[in-house]
A and B are shown apart, each in its own frame.
Chain A
Amino acid sequence: MKRLHIDQRSFKILKYKKKTKNMTTNILSNEKIVFECETGNYHTFCPISCVAWLYQKIEDSFFLVIGTKTCGYFLQNALGVMIFAEPRYAMAELEESDISAQLNDYKELKRICFQIKQDRNPSVIVWIGTCTTEIIKMDLEGMAPNIEKEIQIPIVVARANGLDYAFTQGEDTVLAALAQRCPTVPAQLNRRGETPSTLPDGEKNSSTLEGAKPLLHSGNKQPSLVLFGSVPNTVATQLSNELKLQGITVNGWLPAQRYNELPVLNENTYVCGINPFLSRTATTLMRRKKCKLIGAPFPIGPDGTRCWIEKICSVLNINPNNLLERETNIWNNLEEYLKLIQGKSVFFMGDNLLEISLARFLIRCGMIVYEIGIPYLDKRFQACELTLLKQTCIEMKVPMPRIVEKPDNYNQIQRIRELKPDLVITGLSLANPLEARGITTKWSVEFTFSQIHGFTNARDILELVTRPIRRNTNLTSLGWNTLVLK
């Protein structure tokens, strides 16, 4: 047996555990959420993984990851079989001659992009910069406009690398880059009668059509609303319909289903995010596109969805209609799931930035959250979500969870051993070893790849969360819960 590395916080944890288990302490409204930051030695996916869902979302795109074999091997292993469906993503694999600058990056990239144009003819090529391009300081942003001109296909550059970002933040970098390509003025307003095929080139429109802007104000009942965040089309429709019930029209999504359907963004546009990891995109929309950001909790769980809609309504001066009933109905339908998890404890190891919203929802469901690990916390972008989390804790009379930014997986495992939570939400690399030690786990990646937004999909979240617990009820009586030798 290895000597146990004693965490200096273990004493505090035990106290905390007692507190949560007894649940006798009254939660004071002035209690604060504890924020901590650890070493950043944790497991997560590389942000280039965003390619996997974004190439499917943007149907006419092609994603080119400019990196090494390491990146390629990650994509093909982590994303499994998708490669076989003639994917619209590929690697521009850097070889030794590229690294040592024996080859000309510009020529090489041009050659490869020409080949892609010939084979697939996409409407946009997204270059994903990686760690290697960062280190050798390949000027992707500088080369893109020239190659774009030569091959006549827009090239969007996103630096989704592991030096700076974690997992879902990859989508953030891509959307922030795409936001720059959104037109500022609707096409029909300035080039009425002309072919709409020129629409995608947003920058061209914006520069030539300054004069058309004032037209926007006239006759607009509701200011334009654009939602940002990539979700499957069904979820996008569900959320749009949810807002339509309140009389709100969603004027566009970033990203749209096709590149040339990118929404119009300007100083009259309200934007609202649907995922907690989109802080760069939010910043870009505010600073570069002059949009007005609606800060709201994220529409994850019925509570989150209700608050999200309420916030949008309040900004647009609309009285929400039937919203509480709608939420209550959803909760009532979740009864059977709630029974399974009420009073149970959960530990988020943290790897996809959805953790705070999910924790808030699970606390509302009656669970106790010990720790929320999270790769990166933008307290401004997540401000409303954090407030709702705190409020939820007070209302549900549970202690505030610790939020651990840049967690350390090794320390977390020590804490898990002491706390013995009923459920650990963790990445794929730790799930099986924890299960073998009798600790119930749910893979966090599934939350990224499932439909979890809006009222309709609350059931899906609980389906995921309760699955290991339901599995346990089927198997516990068998008696072999710990499957490693002590």
Chain B
Amino acid sequence: MKLAYWMYAGPAHIGTLRVASSFKNVHAIMHAPLGDDYFNVMRSMLERERDFTPVTASIVDRHVLARGSQEKVVENISRKDKEEEPDLILLTPTCTSSILQEDLQNFVERASLNCQSDVILADVNHYRVNELQAADRTLEQIVRFYLDKSKNQSVQTQNKTLKPSANIIGIFTLGFHNQHDCRELKRLLTDLNIQINEIIPEGGSVQNLKNLPKAWFNLVPYREIGLMTALYLEKNFNMPYVSTTPMGIIDTAVCIREICQTIQQVALTLQNQNSKDQSFENHLPFGGVENYIDRQTRFVSQAAWFSRSIDCQNLTGKKTVIFGDATHAAYITKILAREMGLRVSCAGTYCKHDADWFREQVQGFCDDVIISDDHTQVGDLIAKLEPSAIFGTQMERHIGKRLDIPCGVISAPVHIQNFPLGYRPFLGYEGTNQIADLVYNSFTLGMEDHLLEIFNGHDTKEVITKSLSTESGLNWTQQAQKELNNVPGFVRGKVKRNVEKYARQQKITNITIDIMYAAKEANS
């Protein structure tokens, strides 16, 4: 048992449901007790979804507990089959059904006998995987199911498209800015003269999954979801994939170069295979890849210019802490360290299952790495490091509020305000602009910063101590207190903590002005 107040990644079935409800005309049936269908609330509220979420529950109640689900699950599946006529019904186990250990696979087989729809059982173990892993797994499972099916029916078309084309894998519902990222990726690929073959799962149809192998390669923008599918397609269909996330100027360039190399390789093999007169020479506009990257970097994206501008100078060396899912935390760390000259005191992720990859990515770009899914640990770390800004999830935003440290939200889990109506991609060249804005706006503006320091701040309120630890045992003399009040509000807490830390080290309990100055000298 674990005492837990909050969690970064949700339970497994949420991941399965996110994938299922991203596809068009796929219905998920949860084997769950009453009230477990709150996924519908999340989707309807956070995504402001206009359509009914295609998720229903086959309710597990007292009766089911006593007698087993028996006909209930089968009935619910065939009922949905008639009502909604979905292409696929995905039976989704929950924590409850994992312990009931009913033979759900058997129900699925029985139901599929008299259903028009395909019926499969999501193969996820509630107690072993989290939301992200389950989503990755489910997506692969669905793709595999349909490719196997088309193989059996031998309708599968192995022919590649005439022009270079890509599948985008891993865009889905309730993902952090996924809709906007998807639009930006499409723009990027169109710029590179690459057709979009299929985008899965968001808005995709399972009937079209058989077309996946037609694409020249797969693009997997996020580390968490889609890699399993890409690996499966590579192994079984010899499809290469690009998994560098095009986030930040440098990595967008890396991603574009990888894409072009991949296309050239595929082009070569295709030429070997059929001698048809296909022109695979460089399709790229603007006279070649490097030229394109250069133009985009210097003139389309404002971020490269921003980091040269005198505004960004003030950010140089400022301390930050970064925390989020593996993809966003790793790439934002690289952007802040490489492209903006900030100092990343600590970068971390809650994706414990992907810790090695994360460490490797951020190595050399941050002082320290934290791998944890315990928000109190992250909170304590932030309190200890006292960065000038945090980039994290909604949880870090709240930690920041408590400690008076600004926070930019860069990763799920998120609230409704992170599903903006306006265009806010994190990927591609427009993404770099959005990230630069986010970073810049998170810090106190440069001039304001100076003026506050010179004129002792405009904050005349009493001292607010927002340290996480309440035990102090130190006594501030009246004069010292007054002096502390003169310190600008936004650094006051930090000064106070520094002085107290110093006093504790020196085993002093009475803090006078002299001690304050001594502390300042000792710290500098």
Q: Can you pick out 21 interface pairs between chain A and chain B where the beta carbons lie within 8 Å of each other?
A: A40-B61, A43-B41, A68-B126, A70-B94, A70-B96, A72-B7, A73-B38, A77-B41, A83-B6, A90-B5, A95-B127, A111-B1, A116-B3, A162-B34, A162-B36, A163-B33, A163-B61, A165-B34, A429-B37, A433-B53, A436-B51
B61 close to A164 (CB less than 8 A): yes
User: Does A2 have its Cβ within 8 Å of any Cβ on chain B?
Assistant: yes
B99 close to A69 (CB less than 8 A): no
Q: Which residues of B are found within 8 Å of A49, using beta-carbon distances?
A: 35
A70 close to B13 (CB less than 8 A): yes
Given A43-B37, A45-B35, A429-B40, verify A73-B1 contact (CB < 8 Å). Answer: no
A interface, CB within 8 angstroms of B: 2-3, 5, 40-41, 43-49, 66, 68-70, 72-74, 76-78, 80-81, 83-84, 87, 90-96, 98-99, 103, 105, 108-109, 111-112, 115-116, 131-132, 134-136, 161-167, 410, 413, 427-433, 436, 483-484
A112 close to B1 (CB less than 8 A): yes
Cβ contact of B41, chosen from A98, A105, A109, A428, cutoff 8 A = A428
Given A46-B36, A70-B94, A73-B11, verify A483-B85 contact (CB < 8 Å). Answer: no
| Nearest residue, chain B, Cβ from A115 | B3
A91 close to B4 (CB less than 8 A): yes
Q: Which residues of A are found within 8 Å of B38, using beta-carbon distances?
A: 45-46, 73-74, 77-78, 429
A69 close to B95 (CB less than 8 A): yes
User: Does B10 have its Cβ within 8 Å of any Cβ on chain A?
Assistant: yes
Q: Which residues of B are found within 8 Å of A5, using beta-carbon distances?
A: 82-83
Q: Which residues of A are found within 8 Å of B461, using beta-carbon distances?
A: none
Given A45-B38, A93-B1, verify A432-B49 contact (CB < 8 Å). Answer: yes
Q: Chain B contact residues (Cβ within 8 angstroms of A): what range?
A: 35 or more
| Nearest residue, chain A, Cβ from B12 | A69
A431 close to B44 (CB less than 8 A): yes
- Which of A66, A70, A74, A161 has the most C-beta atoms of chain B within 10 angstroms of its own C-beta? A70
**A248 to B136 Cα, complex, angstroms:** 63
Cβ contact of A428, chosen from B34, B45, B84, cutoff 8 A = B45
A95 close to B1 (CB less than 8 A): yes
B99 close to A136 (CB less than 8 A): yes
Given A3-B85, A134-B65, verify A44-B44 contact (CB < 8 Å). Answer: no
Q: Which residues of A are found within 8 Å of B51, using beta-carbon distances?
A: 433, 436, 484
- Which of B35, B42, B51, B59 has the most C-beta atoms of chain A within 10 angstroms of its own C-beta? B35
User: Does B410 have its Cβ within 8 Å of any Cβ on chain A?
Assistant: no
Q: Smallest Cβ distance from A79 to chain B, in angstroms?
A: 11
Q: Which residues of A are found within 8 Å of B36, using beta-carbon distances?
A: 46, 70, 74, 162
B5 close to A91 (CB less than 8 A): yes
Q: Besides the contacts A163-B34, A429-B44, what 19 more A-B pairs have beta carbons closer than 8 Å?
A: A46-B35, A48-B35, A68-B11, A68-B126, A72-B7, A76-B6, A77-B42, A80-B415, A84-B401, A95-B2, A96-B128, A116-B3, A131-B60, A162-B34, A164-B62, A167-B35, A410-B83, A429-B43, A432-B50
A96 close to B127 (CB less than 8 A): yes
User: Does B504 have its Cβ within 8 Å of any Cβ on chain A?
Assistant: no
User: Does B52 have its Cβ within 8 Å of any Cβ on chain A?
Assistant: yes
Given A5-B83, A76-B6, A135-B100, verify A103-B1 contact (CB < 8 Å). Answer: yes
**A424 to B87 Cα, complex, angstroms:** 30
User: Does B14 have its Cβ within 8 Å of any Cβ on chain A?
Assistant: yes
User: Does B57 have its Cβ within 8 Å of any Cβ on chain A?
Assistant: yes
A109 close to B49 (CB less than 8 A): no
Q: Which residues of B are found within 8 Å of A3, using beta-carbon distances?
A: 85
A430 close to B44 (CB less than 8 A): yes
User: Does B48 have its Cβ within 8 Å of any Cβ on chain A?
Assistant: yes
User: Does B56 have its Cβ within 8 Å of any Cβ on chain A?
Assistant: yes
Q: Smallest Cβ distance from A405 to chain B, in angstroms?
A: 13
**A70 to B401 Cα, complex, angstroms:** 27
A428 close to B2 (CB less than 8 A): no
A433 close to B45 (CB less than 8 A): no
User: Does B398 have its Cβ within 8 Å of any Cβ on chain A?
Assistant: yes
**A113 to B8 Cα, complex, angstroms:** 23
Closest 7 CB pairs of A and B: A46-B35, A429-B40, A162-B33, A436-B50, A96-B127, A108-B1, A69-B11
**A46 to B34 Cα, complex, angstroms:** 7
**A300 to B3 Cα, complex, angstroms:** 39
Q: Which residues of B are found within 8 Å of A115, using beta-carbon distances?
A: 3
Interface residues of B in 57-85 (CB under 8 A from A): 57, 59-62, 65, 76, 82-85
A98 close to B1 (CB less than 8 A): yes
Q: Which residues of B are found within 8 Å of A99, using beta-carbon distances?
A: 98-99, 127
**A109 to B82 Cα, complex, angstroms:** 47
Q: Which residues of A are found within 8 Å of B6, using beta-carbon distances?
A: 72, 76, 83
**A81 to B48 Cα, complex, angstroms:** 19
Q: Which residues of A are found within 8 Å of B94, using beta-carbon distances?
A: 70
A433 close to B10 (CB less than 8 A): no
B95 close to A132 (CB less than 8 A): yes
| Nearest residue, chain A, Cβ from B100 | A135
Q: Which residues of A are found within 8 Å of B45, using beta-carbon distances?
A: 428, 432
| Nearest residue, chain B, Cβ from A105 | B1
A2 close to B84 (CB less than 8 A): yes
| Nearest residue, chain A, Cβ from B397 | A84
**A68 to B49 Cα, complex, angstroms:** 27
Q: Smallest Cβ distance from A412 to chain B, in angstroms?
A: 12
Q: Smallest Cβ distance from A98 to chain B, in angstroms?
A: 6
**A94 to B4 Cα, complex, angstroms:** 10
Q: Which residues of A are found within 8 Å of B43, using beta-carbon distances?
A: 429
**A165 to B59 Cα, complex, angstroms:** 12
| Nearest residue, chain B, Cβ from A5 | B83
Q: Smallest Cβ distance from A442 to chain B, in angstroms?
A: 15
A70 close to B1 (CB less than 8 A): no
| Nearest residue, chain B, Cβ from A167 | B35
Q: Smallest Cβ distance from B122 to chain A, in angstroms?
A: 15
Q: Which residues of B are found within 8 Å of A93, using beta-carbon distances?
A: 1-4
| Nearest residue, chain A, Cβ from B80 | A410
**A109 to B402 Cα, complex, angstroms:** 30
- Which of B34, B43, B52, B59 has the most C-beta atoms of chain A within 10 angstroms of its own C-beta? B34
| Nearest residue, chain B, Cβ from A96 | B127
Q: Which residues of A are found within 8 Å of B61, using beta-carbon distances?
A: 40, 163-164
Given A132-B95, A429-B44, verify A41-B3 contact (CB < 8 Å). Answer: no
| Nearest residue, chain A, Cβ from B86 | A2
| Nearest residue, chain A, Cβ from B399 | A84
**A46 to B83 Cα, complex, angstroms:** 26
**A90 to B127 Cα, complex, angstroms:** 19
Q: Smallest Cβ distance from A53 to chain B, in angstroms?
A: 16
**A131 to B126 Cα, complex, angstroms:** 15
Given A43-B37, A74-B35, A95-B1, verify A433-B127 contact (CB < 8 Å). Answer: no
B34 close to A166 (CB less than 8 A): yes
| Nearest residue, chain B, Cβ from A485 | B50
| Nearest residue, chain A, Cβ from B53 | A429
Q: Which residues of B are found within 8 Å of A112, using beta-carbon distances?
A: 1, 3
Q: Which residues of A are found within 8 Å of B52, using beta-carbon distances?
A: 413, 430, 433
Cβ contact of A73, chosen from B14, B53, B84, cutoff 8 A = B14
| Nearest residue, chain B, Cβ from A84 | B398
Interface residues of B in 394-442 (CB under 8 A from A): 398, 401-402, 415
Q: Which residues of B are found within 8 Å of A429, using beta-carbon distances?
A: 37-38, 40-41, 43-44, 53
B85 close to A2 (CB less than 8 A): yes
Q: Smallest Cβ distance from A431 to chain B, in angstroms?
A: 7
**A78 to B46 Cα, complex, angstroms:** 11
- Which of B1, B6, B42, B59 has the most C-beta atoms of chain A within 10 angstroms of its own C-beta? B1
A92 close to B2 (CB less than 8 A): yes
Q: Smallest Cβ distance from A375 to chain B, in angstroms?
A: 8
| Nearest residue, chain A, Cβ from B398 | A84
A163 close to B65 (CB less than 8 A): yes
B41 close to A78 (CB less than 8 A): yes
Q: Which residues of B are found within 8 Å of A165, using beta-carbon distances?
A: 34
A41 close to B59 (CB less than 8 A): yes
B40 close to A43 (CB less than 8 A): yes
**A41 to B62 Cα, complex, angstroms:** 15
Q: Which residues of B are found within 8 Å of A81, using beta-carbon distances?
A: 398, 415
Q: Which residues of B are found within 8 Å of A135, using beta-carbon distances?
A: 65, 96, 99-100
| Nearest residue, chain B, Cβ from A74 | B38
